[in-house]
Structure 1
């Protein structure tokens, strides 16, 4: 009979002389009750201070090490990077955990290397297996399985290398961003990807009737237009933030960024599922 959320409402009812009050019963461990209390206090009522949220996140990391950084960040009202820093500095032993549970309740491996290798083996055993079947058995996402299949088809290993290498006998021709590995003649080249202009991309989307003729599509376009600004405009907005709201707005920005990342991931999985269905029907 411990109050998880609503202590002030209970006090008001008591002061009014009420003998009963409607409640929602929660059955769980003290650690689960604490997690529920933090989630409730982050979304309504008197906001928790940043230190309170950091302390709550640290306690959740200790009691729920299987939760992903993003899931803990959403529960505690922090950014995922802040939670990752807390996790690295904590004493919680998560070395035995091979996966973490995200906000959608799905478990994802901490290291996809083993999953990629397992997926390559499954594809070799059954080349006609669907991406979702391989993903389920290998413990990785369908999008990762698709990447593994493409790499195998092109003769590449299932696990991607982090940097591209090439052999060059004249390293002086390379840019300052390149570095030569001593004694090997191998040049590690770091390639900077050119990002397309978001304003021009959104303008192209606005002209598409498949989006303009649906209410949800028009709403999506409005959201995209609000975010389609250049780096200089973002700098101006950052300069306009009052110092006493800096931490709060930075946390909100991180949460919005994580939401967009989740949105992109959901789109990737949905598109891949459509491709799987198309391949299956052919």
Structure 2
């Protein structure tokens, strides 16, 4: 089919050191069928293993699709030659999901469990286990609730998205380190982490709500004491809206008991829509924050260049 096309074929990719075709074997075959003696080439500079990863990434996105087994084998080979690559980076290259790549790594194919850090798709190096960074970020957020995501990320050595997750977990009364990221000696006692399917007792639920309430009060107290928040009209409005959550926590049981049964469905929908609106508001705040910090970084770079 390629040979019958009248248009010129896109250039193929060739590893310069070995002259091996990295991407475009079918285009090369089509050119031969046409009787051509030359073909446009883009040379790949790098090692053979880097060329292999490049070839897999190219073939995942065009041409004859690779089978799942071919992509799985490719992922194992890439993790062996590039043990410092993150699961997401390998997944993006091979067209597999991150969970599948993590499973391949756990099975021992390309496993390098001794590694403490890996390089992501953006070229940044991040720790494999961010538990220590999460705990440090949580401490910074408690001491300085108004700190930006990037500011906390620089101090804790983790990504801004991880800082955001830590902040959300603290606001919800959860541990800043997910259970899967905790070491055995740091896991919660059995009384606090019930087995899957087990039902928490009323005392455990009450304790969890109390912890969340205290952490929220601490967070709100820090915002109230921040002049840039309490001395502006918009800041005071947000504080008043946030204070309603304290009322809800303290009066929850009484409110539930006083709501007529026939109103529960509509009220439940309204409450969930309100929660969604707050989530959207939080996402817009974070997007605005990242945009301002990026703009500030560009201005600082411009001054340095000047």
TM-score for the superposition, normalised by structure 2? 0.50
Distance 2:103 2:175 in 1: 32
Counterpart position of 1:7: 25
Over 3 Å counting, the alpha-carbon distance change for 1:51 and 1:128 in structure 2 is closer
Distance 1:55 1:38 in 2: 11
Over 3 Å counting, the alpha-carbon distance change for 1:80 and 1:269 in structure 2 is farther
In 2, are the aligned partners of 1:56 and 1:76 still within 8 Å (CA)?
yes
Distance 1:151 1:82 in 2: 26
Distance 1:69 1:144 in 2: 16
Distance 1:126 1:100 in 2: 29
Q: How do 1:11-30 residues align onto structure 2 when only pairs under 5 Å count?
A: 11-30=29-48
Distance 1:10 1:61 in 2: 29
Counterpart position of 2:287: 270
Distance 2:172 2:59 in 1: 51
In 2, are the aligned partners of 1:142 and 1:272 still within 8 Å (CA)?
no
Distance 2:58 2:289 in 1: 35
Match of 2:198 among 169, 174, 177: 177
Q: SS of the residue aligned with 1:59? A: helix
Stretch deviating more after TM superposition (124-133 or 19-28): 124-133
Q: How do 1:121-160 residues align onto structure 2 when only pairs under 5 Å count?
A: 130-146=148-164, 148=166, 159=177
Using the TM superposition, give the Cα deviation of residue 131 of structure 1 relative to its aligned residue in structure 2, in angstroms.
Answer: 2.8
Using the TM superposition, give the Cα deviation of residue 44 of structure 1 relative to its aligned residue in structure 2, in angstroms.
Answer: 1.1
Within the alignment, does 1:110 sit opposite 2:131 as a pair? Answer: no
Q: Which runs of 5+ in 2 are unaligned?
A: 1-18, 181-186, 209-267, 278-282, 295-306
Using the TM superposition, give the Cα deviation of residue 114 of structure 1 relative to its aligned residue in structure 2, in angstroms.
Answer: 1.1
Larger Rg: 2
Using the TM superposition, give the Cα deviation of residue 159 of structure 1 relative to its aligned residue in structure 2, in angstroms.
Answer: 4.2
Using the TM superposition, give the Cα deviation of residue 128 of structure 1 relative to its aligned residue in structure 2, in angstroms.
Answer: 7.0
Q: SS of the residue aligned with 2:84? A: coil
Using the TM superposition, give the Cα deviation of residue 30 of structure 1 relative to its aligned residue in structure 2, in angstroms.
Answer: 1.0
TM-score for the superposition, normalised by structure 1? 0.53
Counterpart position of 2:107: 89
Q: SS of the residue aligned with 1:28? A: coil
Distance 2:73 2:190 in 1: 48
Count of residue pairs the alignment pairs up? 197
Distance 2:190 2:41 in 1: 66
Using the TM superposition, give the Cα deviation of residue 125 of structure 1 relative to its aligned residue in structure 2, in angstroms.
Answer: 8.6
Root mean square deviation, CA, Å: 4.6
In 2, are the aligned partners of 1:67 and 1:101 still within 8 Å (CA)?
yes
Distance 1:52 1:153 in 2: 44
Within the alignment, does 1:39 sit opposite 2:57 as a pair? Answer: yes
Distance 2:191 2:28 in 1: 72
Distance 1:80 1:150 in 2: 23
In 2, are the aligned partners of 1:5 and 1:37 still within 8 Å (CA)?
yes
Distance 1:275 1:146 in 2: 16
In 2, are the aligned partners of 1:164 and 1:188 still within 8 Å (CA)?
no
Counterpart position of 2:234: none
